[in-house]
Amino acid sequence: MSIVNTALYPLSDKTRRAEIVANAARQLDKDGAAAFPAFVTPEALADMVAEASARFDRAYRRDQRLGFNPQGPLAKVADEALLKRASPYSMWILGSDLLDDGGTLCTLYRSPELMTLAQEALGIARLHVTVDPLINVNVTYMGEGDQHGWHFDDNDFVVSLLLQAAETGGAFEYAPEVDTAPVEDIHAILDGNSSRTRLQKVEAGTLLLFRGRKALHRVTEVAGGKHRIIALLSYHTEPGFVYADEVKKNGLGRISAIAA
């Protein structure tokens, strides 16, 4: 079964791939995000949704209120009122060890074509898969009332693939290049009163490259009986990278792999 939609993304064709990369790089420079709609074939997407849905009952439930972790210059000037602000994080997260290593999701994750596309579009010399057994391909599920509050990422970039959209809500909203913004601009974003925010259209099957360290972003509250399901593909510039136990404990509630 073909996974990547080669009719739209003929990544093995050097000339066409160069065009795709150049377009994505322009999007990243302009907006901090680059979207690849219908990146996977309908058959591959259906297979991924089936696997993710079958493993939902083994996902870890996360219900927290966390600070929005200012990055860059903003971290040095954030006032006390800003540092005290917190946002809800409510979702289920599936550890990588609970996915089928030979399944469609993990196969796409290890695909040299996808890794080359990501590193060229992001302008990174070399990307590697993470060898952490818990965090390399993760699936998050958001149901009725769930949301992922405003935050900056600790990583320079994120690679994600939306598997299933919610019936209502679950929109990806962000404000790019605000790690150098005045404190009052950040308050305005958190209060919902800023013109700096934008919505990124993401439909099922869309691959998204996103520079999240410099962009304040969130997933809006989900409504309806259909889960919003997204796969997060973790790559790193260092070979053999493993996440700290604190990161795994916070995200998955454990630090050790278990049998799938």
Provide the pLDDT for residue 259: 66
pLDDT digits (tens, 9 = 90+) for 206-221: 999 999 989 999 999 9
- Within a domain: residue 9? no
Q: Give the domain range for residue 207.
A: 14-252
- Within a domain: residue 210? yes
- Within a domain: residue 226? yes
pLDDT of residue 143 exceeding 60: yes
Provide the pLDDT for residue 67: 80
- For the chain, what is the domain count? 1
- Within a domain: residue 1? no
- Within a domain: residue 8? no
Provide the pLDDT for residue 71: 82
Of all helices (H) and strands (E), which one includes residue 106?
Answer: helix 104-109
CA distance 51 to 56: 9
What residue ranges in the chain does DSSP mark as E strands? 33-36, 60-67, 86-94, 128-129, 137-142, 148-151, 158-164, 168-169, 172-175, 198-200, 207-210, 216-219, 222-223, 228-233, 235-236
Provide the pLDDT for residue 10: 97
pLDDT band at 80 (very low <50, low <70, confident <90, very high): confident
- Within a domain: residue 198? yes
pLDDT digits (tens, 9 = 90+) for 235-250: 999 999 999 999 999 9
With contact defined as beta carbons under 8 Å apart, do 92 and 60 qualify? yes
pLDDT of residue 57 exceeding 70: yes
Provide the pLDDT for residue 218: 95
Of 47-61, 74-88, 143-157, give the lowest mean pLDDT range.
74-88
Average pLDDT in the 165-185 region? 94
Residues 6+ apart with CB under 8 A from 44: 1, 2, 3, 4, 104, 108
Tell me what the pLDDT averaged over the chain comes to. 94
Q: Helix (H) and strand (E) counts for the chain?
A: 8, 15
- Within a domain: residue 5? no
Average pLDDT in the 55-83 region? 88
Report residue 71 CA to chain centroid gap: 17
CATH of the domain at 196: 2.60.120.620
pLDDT digits (tens, 9 = 90+) for 97-129: 999 999 999 999 999 999 999 999 999 999 999
CA distance 159 to 221: 21
- Within a domain: residue 142? yes
pLDDT band at 79 (very low <50, low <70, confident <90, very high): confident
